[in-house]
Amino acid sequence: MTAALAVQPTPTPPPSAVPSSRRKPRASRRLPCKLGPYTLFERIGYGGMANVYLARRKTELGGHHLCVIKEVLPELAHDARMAEMLAEEARITSLLRHENVVEVHDLGRDGESLYLAMEYVEGFDLRELLRRAAAAKVPFPVAYSLRIVGDVLRGLDYAHRWKDESGAPLGIVHRDVSPANVLVSFEGGVKLCDFGIARAGAVSGVDTAFQGKAGYMSPEQARGDALTGASDVFAVGIILWELLAGRRLYKAEPGESLREASRRAEIPALPSRGLPEEEELFGIVRRALARDTEERYPTAAAMREDLEAYATKTRMLASPTQFGAWLTHHFGKAVISERRARQRAIEAIERGPVAVITPIGKRARPANGNAAEKNPNHTEAPPTQRVVPRKEAVAEAPESGVRQTKSLDPAEREKRLAKKRRKALKAQGKSVAAMKVAPREASEGGYAGAILLLAAAMVAGLVMLQLTAGG
């Protein structure tokens, strides 16, 4: 396993592989659709290299579980660099089993598609959560900010300290810690995701610099230097600064990029918020954002220890239960109900089209409204039975099947025919009533309604044959 994680520096990727904030959102698949054993039904994110979908997979016990699929963009699916990145993410994350790290379930190909299946966290990424809070004008409590940052640091500390089979540290560095990669669940849990550009060992060179979000890079990452866990600590410091200030840290000056701003790492003072022991908290942020790595927190654990001490002293140590209840109250109910409704719709589609009986000369359509001939799995419904005219029926009927009534006297014959007509009319009334009910049953998705309609049509036809034969 150690050998598999030892990744050598790779050449600069093609421009198409470099994320760009200016790039337009990539076209998504037409949903719902299948990808390997997964049914994709909602696009929940996108980037310069991949689309991210919410998906379902059937379990061996007959149930379903939700997961997230990261599908590499078609133009990059056969790029060796992209395949290496995705495989590296799968290898690294498969080693990490921690409550603050998203698990990876599967890495696969389906035709031309390359994808990664991951644990689904029902909630938001931190970037989306902050956007919704601002739009709804809901203040974001400092206690919950400390909770989020503390959990991110806990997950990073676990990854940074991971050892191989011999007990030697692997030196994993995430390299892309940002609000978009921090997932917050409605249960109050916090998980770090997207280890796609993480590396085992202090890798140096241009490969280290080209990845990651420029607004959350450490100065050494922006310069292309070798990285250690202290680089991830700097990124967490930026997140905490922005949570406390209520705005982005870096704003590129005219003619410069965010990468240049990250390289300079000029950190403005935080505005006062009237918090208890505020200077102590601001001191933690300043140390996390120290330009010199010698002055910065050496580990994620060291920063988390100071944050938890401050939260405990100021009584701002929020529990996951409290945080989850706040999230659900303000943002969760509508999202969860909408997603549940979408899942029910997908379940209905997965059950397949509903067969319905249509008039002669019309084409049957499956439940999703597409013409049956476009669906190779569609079975054409049997046509409505025709009523055979009297003359054709008499002409085609075999001699042995024709009743002989001419030997009866006229009065007896008329009496028997009248009795036959009464029975036939009564049966016809029942069949007509059934035909009125059956289409409604069929349209509501039941095969029983379709069978009832066919049977009613057959009865009506036989009744008419009896009437015409007896007339």
Known binding-site positions: 70
Answer for the pair 365, 371: CB distance below 8 angstroms, yes or no. yes
Q: Which two tokens stand for residue 283?
A: 């001191």
Is 207 an annotated catalytic residue?
A: no
Q: Which two tokens stand for residue 86?
A: 């995705």
Q: Nearest 5 degrees, angle CA 70-CA 49-CA 67? A: 10
- If you search the block for the tokens 């009125």, which residue do you land on? 436
Answer for the pair 142, 244: CB distance below 8 angstroms, yes or no. yes
User: Which residue is catalytic, options 151, 176, 194, 232?
Assistant: 176
- Cα distance between residue 267 and residue 188, in whole Å: 30
SS3 for 64? strand
Q: Which residue numbers belong to the known binding site for ATP?
A: 70
Neighbours of 441 (CB within 10 A): 17
Q: Amino acid identity of 444?
A: E
Which residues 6+ apart lie within 8 Å of 296 measured at CB? 230, 233, 234, 287, 288, 289, 290
Q: Which two tokens stand for residue 456?
A: 């009613």
SS3 for 65? strand
Answer for the pair 314, 276: CB distance below 8 angstroms, yes or no. yes
Stretch (H or E) spanning 422:
helix 410-443
Q: Is the peptide bond before 389 cis (omega within 30 degrees of 0)?
A: no
- Cα distance between residue 26 and residue 373, in whole Å: 31
- Cα distance between residue 460 and residue 471, in whole Å: 16
* Residues annotated as part of the active site: 176
